Each structure stands twice: as structure tokens, then as C-alpha cells.
Amino acid sequence: MKVLIAGGTGLVGKALNRGLYQEGHEVKLLSRKPGNGAFLWDPEKDQIDSRAIDWADAVINLAGAGIADERWSEDRKSLIRSSRVKATQLLVSELNKRQEHKVLINASAIGIYGDQLFDKVLDEEAALGNDFLASVCKDWEVEAQKVSATHRLVIVRIGIVLSTQGGALPKLLPLAQWGIASAVGSGLQGISWIHIQDLCEAFRFCLEKAEISGVVNGTSPRAVNNQEMMRLLAHSVKRPFWMPAVPSFVLKTFLGEMAAVVLSGQQVKPAKLERLGFQFQYPDFTLALTDLLSSKGSSS
């Protein structure tokens, strides 16, 4: 299958590109710097090389500014929203000009469920939240849902991605190795995570299974809470876990509104993937850490 990836230079995009290629798919990227297997696009300028959509059998949209890369000023919040909405609008507009059947797999995030108590299990039919991240995800998904019925749409709500190459894990590992890992806030907030290899396989599963459409939760089946995650991380590097939790007000003082990224949480279940027979290679947090911290998982 010919697969076009928007946002292919990010953490997930790079791994997905590599995995799809290894499975025999032909992959090209959308990029502001075309050439070397990439087509030109610039959502901010409403530009895209129309040959990209003509070439592709499927489009995977991962585009969007990083949620936790910078403190949330009003300008940053606007960019977080617009980078997702504009990219999706442009792709959907181009797809809707074509009559031939194509597949759109559009990223979203579990932040759409808002902050939820850990004992509340959330499947794909769960009620949605109302905070900033939830509103961004809702706007993002609304644009994806405007794609014509001619095409198959899958929306993957991605959880916390575990990888040694980026995301949360490389930021947390040094704390564990120095013996100062600690929970934050109550420590009870849910962490719905997924090993990057399982996430890439889930995307491929959705790509290749013609019967899959609509919303899919891209998380492991076994969420942990924040305190458990930090304890397991400390134990994985054979360090003690003794530090008191960092109070919420401290994080809010330093991070402002962006503190919600680590203070809120939810327990999300990948109900649709499990129902359709997807097999997680790393369903357990300890198993995922063991792989990622071994030489085998060093490139994950």
C-alpha cells in the first residue's frame, strides 16, 4: 500500500515510517522541505502538492505542535490548536476532491476525555471532557470527520507514548537514575500509556483492516496511576522510590496552565482494538520498560 504521512518527522512518525517500510508498504512524507521521498506542504499557507494525494492509497495525519514543548502562553495554545486543525482541514479538503476510495487515519489524543478519576474506565464511547486539551482534540476530530464517505476514516486517540527516543520517558529516566523520582500531585491520576512499537502496530492494524473505522483508543490495556508509574520506573533502574510527591501548586507555579498535562489523567481502555483481535506485545508497564531499557529496545 502507498502510505502518505503528515507529521512524519516526529517521534511516532519516524517509528511508523520505519515500521511500515519494513512490512512492505511504500511510504512518503509531507514536508515543508520536499525531495528525497517527500512532497511539499505547508498547512499555514494552505499549500500542498496535489500529486501527494493522487499517489497515496492512505494518508496518516500526525501533524501538530508539541503539547508539552513550551509553556502555554495564549500564542502557544493557539498554535497547538491551529497546527492540528489547519493540517487536518487541508488534508480533508484534498481528499474530498477525489472520488477514488482512500483511507485517512487521523491522530487524536486521550486528552479528549478530560481529567477523570482512575477508577472510571473509559472506552471509545465515553463522555468527552471540557478542558483545553479536550477542546483541542474535539476540534481536531471534527475536521477529520468532514472527510467524504467515499473514504474510510479512523481516528486514533493516542495515549502517553513510551520510547527511549523522545516523549516522557527520556525526561523521567534521569530522575529515577538519580534516585529522586517522585509522584506529582495526588499521584492517583491515571497514566494511559502505550509502547511505541505497539502503537505503530496498531496504526498498521487499522490501515490494513478494511472493517475498522471511527474512533480507536491507542493505549495499552493496563493503565497505571502516576505514583505506580514512578515507582516502577525507579525499580526498573534499581533505585529507591522514597521522595514525597511534588505538590500541585509547585507544578502550577513553574508550568502554569501546562501543569494540567501531568496533574490530570484518565484510565483509557483500547476496547475496539481488543474486540477486533489486536495483540499487544507489551500490555504491561513493567514489560514495556524492560524492553525499552534493554539493548533490544534502545532504538524504540
For residue 98, the domain's CATH number is 3.40.50.720
Cα gap 259→247, rounded to integer Å: 11
Segment 242-246 shows an average pLDDT of 83
Please check whether residue 10 lies inside any domain of the structure.
yes
Condensed to tens digits (0 to 9), the pLDDT of residues 23-42 reads 999 999 999 988 888 999 99
Please check whether residue 165 lies inside any domain of the structure.
yes
> What's the domain count of the chain?
1
Please check whether residue 300 lies inside any domain of the structure.
no
**Who wins on pLDDT, 49 or 264?**
49
Q: Mean pLDDT for the chain? A: 93
Strands 26-31 and 38-42: parallel
User: Which positions ≥6 away from 117 have C-beta within 8 Å?
Assistant: none
Condensed to tens digits (0 to 9), the pLDDT of residues 64-116 reads 999 988 889 999 999 999 999 999 999 999 999 999 999 999 999 999 999 99
**Dihedral angle sign, alpha carbons of residues 166, 136, 140, 203:** positive
Please check whether residue 152 lies inside any domain of the structure.
yes
- Of all residues in the chain, what percent carry a pLDDT higher than 70? 98
Please report, to the nearest 10 degrees, the dihedral formed by the alpha carbons of residues 138, 140, 146, 148 taken in order. -130
pLDDT band at 13 (very low <50, low <70, confident <90, very high): very high
- Of all residues in the chain, what percent carry a pLDDT higher than 90? 78
The pTM of this model reads 0.94
CA 22 to mean position of chain CA atoms: 21
pLDDT of residue 91: 98
Segment 207-229 shows an average pLDDT of 96
pLDDT of residue 298: 46
- CB pairs under 8 A, 24+ apart, for 133-136? 133/67, 133/109, 133/260, 133/261, 135/81, 136/80, 136/81, 136/84, 136/111
Condensed to tens digits (0 to 9), the pLDDT of residues 124-156 reads 999 999 999 999 999 999 999 999 999 999 999
Q: What's the domain range around 6?
A: 2-292
Structure-block grid coordinates of residue 125: 464511547
Please check whether residue 297 lies inside any domain of the structure.
no
pLDDT of residue 297: 47
pLDDT of residue 148: 97
Q: Is the pLDDT of residue 205 over 50?
A: yes
